Amino acid sequence: MRARGIVVAAMSGGVDSAVTAALLKREGWDVIGITLQIWQERADQGRDGGCCSLGAVEDARRAASRIGIPHYVLNLRDHFGQEVIRRFIAEYSRGRTPNPCVECNRSVKFSELLRQARALGADFLATGHYARIRRNEETGRWELWRARDTRKDQSYALYTLTQDQLQRTLMPLGELESKAETRRIAAELGLPVAAKPDSQEICFVPPEGYTRLLRDQAPEACRPGPVVDTSGRVRGRHEGIAHYTIGQRRRLPASGSGPLYVVALDPESNTVVVGAEEELYAAAFEASGMNWIALADLPGSLAVWARIRYNGAASPALIEPGPDHGSVRCRFHEPQRAVTPGQAAVFYNGDRVIGGGTIERVLAEEPQARPRPAAGAVQARAS
């Protein structure tokens, strides 16, 4: 059990972060609430904008007042624009599908809030994420585990956390049995955000979708171009590769031989490649930028459960070191649908996160083995 002390609570203006701050205050922590302002809300936004909007800042301030803790606002708009929005636009321009929440956790929330916590003399950072952090007494490593409420689990988006960040972070909601329990606690404490709906959007994306942002910031990614099938036959024209992602069926030319899906994007030739449903499946991929949590490094091949999208189920696979430093090759037991470059690939042993990285490319070769994780390694359930 970690000793009590000063903790900075990241307060997004939602019920989860407010309950986190309240629980820690009740447990005897000296809590300081901080809300990030990370994007410039437009006058025509047309909605509250989710976390970190102006309305969310005021909700966080009211919650902090009710809890009885000091509250500050940290302006990171420029940093967020450089580290998250710019990369988001660059990835879509390359025909990839990024995870902006993963990048925000990596480059903004944990790095900058922990820096601010140190400046305030705080020992820890607390967030409202649904995940669990434990220290493995045998290995001495801090580990990230899925939340007890697997439907709300957010470990997939937290795989970038370092050992230092894990050691200094508290996530009390990961131990709760359900989101209903979070709302019950909020109501009992009289928190003004107890009934506030969960935010479902990417905070900086306008109501009409991310393509407006790309049209404004990267018009070259919205240039029309050819749609071809996997045999090279031209099937029509597309509206710009930024409008498409692997597995998509919408906005594609009609086909008399059956539905077509996006199977590849080629930004160099500005081409969308389409194919039949069965052409969406891949048995292997390569990932880069690996961050290992349960391990110091990957010494050889390892049987895992792999998740390749936020709300996707984990599938049995074998991972092994890739050709480049910080890369891995992952071979599924069974081919998986729509393996998408730019998305996170997170590897589990049961509910424990082994590590994760970014999908770089699909591998054409067939898997050399069809392993299943060892007995006792329970499948990571879908969130």
Give residue-wise pLDDT tens across range 18-64: 999 999 999 999 999 999 998 765 544 544 545 666 788 999 999 99
Q: Kindly state the helix (H) or strand (E) to which residue 74 belongs, with its residue range.
A: strand 71-75
Please name the amino acid found at residue 38. I
- Into which CATH architecture does domain 223-275 fall? Roll (2.30)
Q: Which residues contact 265 (CB under 8 A, 6 or more apart)?
A: 95, 96, 241, 244, 245, 246, 271, 272, 273
CB atoms within 10 A of CB 208: 9
- Which ranges in the chain belong to alpha helices (H)? 15-26, 54-67, 77-80, 86-93, 100-104, 110-119, 163-167, 179-188, 210-217
Question: What residue spans in the chain does CATH classification 2.40.30.10 cover?
Answer: 280-363
Q: List residues with catalytic annotation.
A: 104, 203
- Distance, CA of 175 to CA of 88 (rounded, Å): 32
- pLDDT tens digits, 350-359: 999 999 999 9
- pLDDT tens digits, 140-153: 999 999 999 999 99
- Into which CATH architecture does domain 6-129+171-188 fall? 3-Layer(aba) Sandwich (3.40)
Question: What residue spans in the chain does CATH classification 2.30.30.280 cover?
Answer: 223-275
- Distance, CA of 372 to CA of 359 (rounded, Å): 21
Burial of 75 (0-12, 13-18, 19+ CB in 10 A): exposed
For domain 280-363, is the CATH number 2.40.30.10? yes
In percent, the amount of the chain with pLDDT more than 90 equals 79
Is the per-residue pLDDT at 383 higher than 50?
no
Q: Per the structure block, which two tokens stand in for 120?
A: 């305030």
Question: What residue spans in the chain does CATH classification 3.40.50.620 cover?
Answer: 6-129+171-188
- Distance, CA of 115 to CA of 128 (rounded, Å): 18
